[in-house]
Amino acid sequence: MAVAITGASGAIYAMRTVAALLERNCHLELIVTEFGRRLLRDELGEAVTMERLIDHLAEKYGEGVRAGTYTLHSNKDLGAKIASGSQNCEAMVVVPCSMKTLAGIAHGLSRTLVERAADVMLKERRPLIVVPRETPMSLPQLRNMVLCAEAGAVVLPAMPAFYQLPQTLDDLADFMAGKILSSMGFSHQMYPRWGS
Ligand SMILES: Cc1cc2nc3c(=O)[nH]c(=O)nc-3n(C[C@H](O)[C@H](O)[C@H](O)COP(=O)(O)O)c2cc1C
């Protein structure tokens, strides 16, 4: 599984998604853009660095996250394995997805590892989930979401629901991460189902 964290608001969605995948014994190919790192700092505090990611996730979500493993890639490393279609990456999620990265994916620019790895998922017809966050949205941004959907991506906007009566921010993050996991083909009980 590949997980890209870019500089759109919603660091908690990324952390919950990474934790949930690690709990499921996954190996993650992780890419954090420059603004993704800044976002983690701005929204989660200086103590949450990529260097102590697993410790942070274990403190917040429990020791189960140590079941998984990850490789952290530079966004500049276009030679990483996930930049090639011959690498069998099963699914990729960009969470949260900035409007800049959304545009790059929509137009197949492949300038960075995030854009290239996403492009590979589309060309190989493998699952790509993009989790855009912006409001309000311009016409180019709306069109870029349509382009991604037309190319085969699942466009899963960071729009948590309230029908499950969330009590905390973590409840909202669970909802978004649960939606992402469902799109990646995992069953889970991260939030109460509608009507249950
Ligand atoms: C704290 C913070 C929050 C941001 N929130 C958003 C956002 O919600 N959506 C967005 O498209 N850009 C947002 N930005 C701007 C992007 O980070 C900026 O456009 C950046 O160039 C994106 O680069 P990247 O896609 O390579 O991470 C935010 C920036 C910062 C520092």
Q: pLDDT > 70: what percent of the chain?
A: 99
The rounded mean pLDDT for the chain is: 96
Q: What is the pLDDT of residue 159?
A: 97
pLDDT at 88 over 90: no
| pLDDT in the model for residue 146 | 98
pLDDT tens digit string along 8-44?
999 999 999 999 999 999 999 999 999 999 999 999 9
- For the chain, what percent of residues have pLDDT higher than 90? 92
The confidence band for 64, taking pLDDT boundaries of 50, 70 and 90, is very high
- Per-residue confidence (pLDDT) for residue 192, from 0 to 100: 82
**Is 144 touching ligand 1 by the criterion CB < 6 Å?**
no
Q: What is the mean predicted confidence (pLDDT) over 147-160?
A: 98
> By the 8 A CB rule, do 83 and 4 touch?
no
For 97, phi then psi, to 5°, come to -110, 115
Nearest ligand 1 atom, CA 39:
1
pLDDT confidence band for 196 (50 / 70 / 90): low
Residue closest via CA to ligand 1's atom 3 equals: 9
CA–centroid distance for 170 within its chain: 16
Axis crossing angle, helix 11-23 with helix 169-183, rounded to the nearest 10? 60
State in Å: Cα 36 to ligand 1 middle.
Answer: 8
63/74 Cα distance (integer angstroms): 26
Q: Which of 99-103, 168-172, 185-189 has the lowest mean pLDDT?
A: 185-189
> How remote is the CA of residue 35 from the centroid of ligand 1, in Å?
6
**10-44 burial code (b ≥16 CB/10 A, e <16):** bbbbbbbbbbbbbbbebebbbbbbebbbebbeeeb
Give the pTM: 0.97
Please tell me the distance between residue 34's alpha carbon and the centre of ligand 1 in angstroms: 10
Predicted confidence at residue 50, as pLDDT, reads 86
Q: Is the bond preceding 136 in cis, omega lying within 30 degrees of 0?
A: yes
pLDDT > 80? residue 194: no
Residue 133 CB less than 6 A away from ligand 1: yes
Which of 98, 99, 145 has most ligand 1 atoms within 8 Å of its beta carbon, as the pocket-test mutant? 98
Query: Average pLDDT, stretch 145-160?
Result: 98
| CB of 76 closer than 6 angstroms to any ligand 1 atom | no
